[in-house]
Amino acid sequence: MKKGSKVTVSYDVTVEAGSLILEWKDIKMNHYFHKEFYDSQSGSFSFEAERRYYTLKFTGKNTKGGCIIELNESAS
Protein backbone atom coordinates (compact mmCIF):
# COMPACT_ATOMS: atom_id res chain seq x y z
CA MET A 1 0.00 0.00 0.00
CA LYS A 2 1.07 3.54 -0.56
CA LYS A 3 1.33 5.83 2.45
CA GLY A 4 -1.46 8.37 2.49
CA SER A 5 -3.81 6.36 0.27
CA LYS A 6 -7.38 5.64 1.33
CA VAL A 7 -7.95 1.92 1.83
CA THR A 8 -11.36 0.27 1.96
CA VAL A 9 -11.58 -3.35 3.08
CA SER A 10 -14.85 -5.14 2.28
CA TYR A 11 -15.73 -8.51 3.78
CA ASP A 12 -18.40 -11.15 3.26
CA VAL A 13 -18.28 -13.66 6.12
CA THR A 14 -20.29 -16.89 6.14
CA VAL A 15 -20.51 -18.66 9.51
CA GLU A 16 -22.35 -21.98 9.57
CA ALA A 17 -20.94 -23.12 12.93
CA GLY A 18 -18.61 -21.71 15.59
CA SER A 19 -17.16 -18.23 15.15
CA LEU A 20 -14.57 -16.40 13.07
CA ILE A 21 -12.32 -13.57 14.26
CA LEU A 22 -11.14 -11.10 11.62
CA GLU A 23 -8.26 -8.75 12.51
CA TRP A 24 -6.58 -6.05 10.43
CA LYS A 25 -3.50 -4.42 11.99
CA ASP A 26 -0.26 -2.73 11.09
CA ILE A 27 3.25 -4.00 11.79
CA LYS A 28 3.27 -2.18 15.15
CA MET A 29 0.16 -4.19 16.14
CA ASN A 30 -2.20 -1.18 16.05
CA HIS A 31 -5.67 -2.58 15.33
CA TYR A 32 -7.71 -0.98 12.56
CA PHE A 33 -10.42 -3.62 12.73
CA HIS A 34 -11.16 -6.49 15.12
CA LYS A 35 -14.44 -8.38 15.15
CA GLU A 36 -15.69 -11.83 16.09
CA PHE A 37 -18.49 -13.13 13.85
CA TYR A 38 -21.04 -15.63 15.18
CA ASP A 39 -23.28 -15.40 12.12
CA SER A 40 -22.96 -14.43 8.46
CA GLN A 41 -22.35 -10.72 7.81
CA SER A 42 -21.09 -8.37 5.13
CA GLY A 43 -19.54 -4.96 5.66
CA SER A 44 -16.54 -2.74 5.14
CA PHE A 45 -14.19 -0.37 6.92
CA SER A 46 -11.86 2.36 5.63
CA PHE A 47 -8.71 4.06 6.84
CA GLU A 48 -5.82 6.18 5.57
CA ALA A 49 -2.66 4.11 5.15
CA GLU A 50 0.10 5.33 7.46
CA ARG A 51 2.40 2.44 6.58
CA ARG A 52 3.02 0.19 3.60
CA TYR A 53 2.55 -3.16 5.35
CA TYR A 54 -0.46 -4.54 7.19
CA THR A 55 -1.54 -7.95 8.49
CA LEU A 56 -4.88 -9.66 7.94
CA LYS A 57 -5.48 -12.49 10.40
CA PHE A 58 -8.32 -15.01 10.49
CA THR A 59 -8.89 -17.11 13.60
CA GLY A 60 -11.53 -19.82 13.56
CA LYS A 61 -13.12 -21.24 16.70
CA ASN A 62 -14.71 -24.54 15.65
CA THR A 63 -15.66 -22.67 12.50
CA LYS A 64 -17.46 -23.91 9.43
CA GLY A 65 -18.04 -21.38 6.65
CA GLY A 66 -15.94 -19.01 4.58
CA CYS A 67 -14.82 -15.45 4.02
CA ILE A 68 -14.25 -13.22 0.99
CA ILE A 69 -12.09 -10.10 1.36
CA GLU A 70 -11.80 -7.30 -1.20
CA LEU A 71 -9.25 -4.49 -0.95
CA ASN A 72 -9.59 -1.14 -2.72
CA GLU A 73 -6.91 1.54 -2.58
CA SER A 74 -7.28 5.08 -3.89
CA ALA A 75 -5.13 8.21 -3.77
CA SER A 76 -6.14 10.76 -1.14
Rounded Cα distance, 44 and 25, in Å: 15
Mean pLDDT computed over every residue of the chain: 93
Average pLDDT of the segment spanning 33-46: 96
High-pLDDT (> 90) share of the chain, %: 78
User: What's the chain's length in residues?
Assistant: 76
Average pLDDT of the segment spanning 53-73: 94
Q: What is the pLDDT of residue 27?
A: 86
Q: How confident is the model at residue 39 (pLDDT cuts 50, 70, 90)?
A: very high
